[in-house]
Structure 1
Amino acid sequence: MWKGIFFSYLDKANQKRGGHRIATGKFTRLKDESWPDCAKDGYAAKPRKGDALPFFNLHLDATTDSQSLHGSCPVIKGEKWSVTK
């Protein structure tokens, strides 16, 4: 079974721009209501129109959180568009 794709956002720190990225926002637009169950082994957030999902890349002490991942499940029907900023 395909488990999805997982990405971490551990950017090279740019001290001139303030250091590490603190958080990432994920915006997704599904063109129909189908929802895959590939995330059943972990956390999952079903997107709804207008939702954004923030997740944090650093711990409170500003050290990198190596567990900061987001995953993507396959599209069952229709299209999925995502923007990460």
Structure 2
Amino acid sequence: MEMNCTAAPFSEDDGPTQIRNQIDYSLKIEMEVAKRGEAHRPVRVYADGAFDLFHQGHARLLRQAKNVFPNVYLIVGGEYEHALSGLSLR
């Protein structure tokens, strides 16, 4: 599996700001176009979960989510943990 992982830039950095200002977000991306890597912008993939006890399975999940398409911004949510109850989340 080819790795598609790089460090995330800060949203206020010059590079991301210039890219964001040039993108027309009203244009939708079709699934097949994204899979071929022909999308006009990075595809945003959102992964949510309870990552309170982060382990190898979580790392695999996030790597797979990042590698779904050739050009991806992976967004990871953690607010879901507050809605769950249980000993592992306290």
TM range (shorter): under 0.3
Q: Which has the higher contact order (CA 8 A, sep 6+)?
A: 1
TM-score, normalised with respect to structure 2: 0.21
TM-score, normalised with respect to structure 1: 0.21
Larger strand fraction of residues: 1
The structure with more radius of gyration: 2
Larger helix fraction of residues: 2
